[in-house]
Structure 1
Amino acid sequence: MADLIFFTGPMDCGKSTLALQMDHTQRTGGRLGLLLTREDRSGAAVISSRLGLQETALEVNDDLDLWTTIVRRLTAGERIDYLICDESQFFTPAHVDQLARLVDELRIDVFAFGILTDFRTELFPGSRRLVELADRIETLQVQPLCWCGQRATHNARTIGGRVITEGSQVVVGDTVGVDDTVPAGEVAYEVLCRRHHRLRMSRAVAQATLSPDPLPFGQEPLS
């Protein structure tokens, strides 16, 4: 029996690294598979990890029918035992339906990797459909940290270091490290705990105000 498994977690929890490791493990076990991705941070049709690992992948776009694509490859004599789907939050619900059909009718294992929610804390359509259809959902155990040291659970979009909560759901960027700086006007992403995401308190804002623990209700410090 084949399975549709959704591996999820916030940014910086090692999803792409695990996707590549999963492919390596499957191939070592004598199986053959296909890598799929969409809107990788590198801008190319690859699965890339922040650790420096990367592999060429098939780029998924709105017009690509995954069922037809895989059936054509199988008909041409290609062997496909499994699919690795990175950045699966960007897949459309139709793509996820096609993946489920490949699992059920062709017995191809599908390992999907992606984040659940966007910078507005709203579910990505692809992730929502994966939650609805997956045989199993696995939360990655690597836990990224907010700048305050607490477990990071929310993905924040920043411009010039300031958290923004409006705009297109999909804007490709990369995450900001402890010592990184991002030019004003350039989109970046940062993982925050719920509290600091709600307060729109990014690392840069906290450093600028010299107040890692702002007062509640917008109060000003006492003079």
Structure 2
Amino acid sequence: MSELVFFSGTMNCGKSTLALQIEHNRAARGLQGLIFTRDDRAGEGKLSSRLGLVTDAVEAAADLDLYAYAVTQLSGGERIDYAIVDEAQFLGADQIDQLARIVDDLDLDVFAFGITTDFRAKLFPGSQRLLELADRVETLQVENLCWCGARATHNARTVGGEMVVEGAQVVVGDVAESDREVGYEVLCRRHHRKRMTSAAAHAAALSPEMLPVAPA
């Protein structure tokens, strides 16, 4: 039986790397996949990982019917054995329904990869619908660590180095580009709740109140 599988985790936990690995393994067996993505760091129509791997993909714009696209490709003689969807959290709930229809009506496995919650610890619409519809949900085992050493479970957005909890749900940024105006950092729940990023913790450790000896 074909399945809709949702692979989830925090930022920087290897989701895109696993997506590319699944594509590689199946392609090596002569299978052909349909790859969707949205707002990848490498640009439109690309699926990339932080390890430097990249492949072409179909940009799943908000107005793209994923099921209709797959049917059109099949009707035109294209072979599709499975589908991979990266950055699935950015898809609309209706597009997740379309992925489920690809599984049920076309009998194709669909492997979706995405972040479950945003920088406010709120579910992305696409991730919420995947949790509701997926045949299987897999939490990626490459665990991220908060600056304190605890398991990182939350994604924090920083603007000018300060953590923020308001703003648009989707703003382009990366955990690997801390010098950008908008950046991201993974934190444990405790420090996400306290808005204590690594920079804030470092600044607090150097403040006069935290020093063992009063400054001269």
Which amino acid is 1:83 matched to? A
- In structure 1, what is the Cα distance between the partners aligned to 2:14 and 2:193? 24
1:216 counterpart residue number:
none
2:192 counterpart residue number:
197
2:155 counterpart residue number:
155
Change (3 A) 1:71 1:54: same
Retained in 1: the 8 A contact 2:38–2:44?
Answer: no
- In structure 2, what is the Cα distance between the partners aligned to 1:168 and 1:75? 39
Task: Map Cα deviations across residues 201-222 of structure 1 (whole Å, 9 max, x no partner).
Answer: 11111112226xxxxxxxx769
State the TM-score, normalized to the length of structure 1. Answer: 0.90
SS at match of 1:98: helix
Retained in 1: the 8 A contact 2:178–2:184?
Answer: no
Aligned pairs, number: 211
Identity %: 60
- Unpaired segments of 5 or more residues in structure 2? none
SS at match of 2:156: strand
SS at match of 2:61: coil
Matches within 5 A, 1:100-115: 100-115=100-115
Change (3 A) 1:70 1:181: closer
Q: CA RMSD in A?
A: 1.7
The structural deviation recorded for 1:44 is 2.7
Task: Map Cα deviations across residues 46-72 of structure 1 (whole Å, 9 max, x no partner).
Answer: 111011111111001111011111111
2:143 counterpart residue number:
143
- In structure 2, what is the Cα distance between the partners aligned to 1:6 and 1:169? 20
- In structure 2, what is the Cα distance between the partners aligned to 1:96 and 1:181? 32
- In structure 2, what is the Cα distance between the partners aligned to 1:160 and 1:189? 11
SS at match of 2:151: coil
Which amino acid is 1:107 matched to? D
- In structure 1, what is the Cα distance between the partners aligned to 2:161 and 2:184? 9
1:134 aligns with 2:131: no
Retained in 2: the 8 A contact 1:37–1:59?
Answer: yes
Matches within 5 A, 1:54-93: 54-93=54-93
Retained in 2: the 8 A contact 1:45–1:56?
Answer: yes
- In structure 2, what is the Cα distance between the partners aligned to 1:68 and 1:13? 31
1:182 aligns with 2:194: no
1:95 counterpart residue number:
95
Which amino acid is 2:111 matched to? F
Which amino acid is 2:71 matched to? V
- Unpaired segments of 5 or more residues in structure 1? 212-219
Retained in 2: the 8 A contact 1:103–1:110?
Answer: yes
The structural deviation recorded for 1:12 is 1.1
SS at match of 2:21: helix
The structural deviation recorded for 1:30 is 2.1
1:119 counterpart residue number:
119
SS at match of 2:94: helix
Query: Which one is further off, 43-52 or 113-122?
Result: 43-52
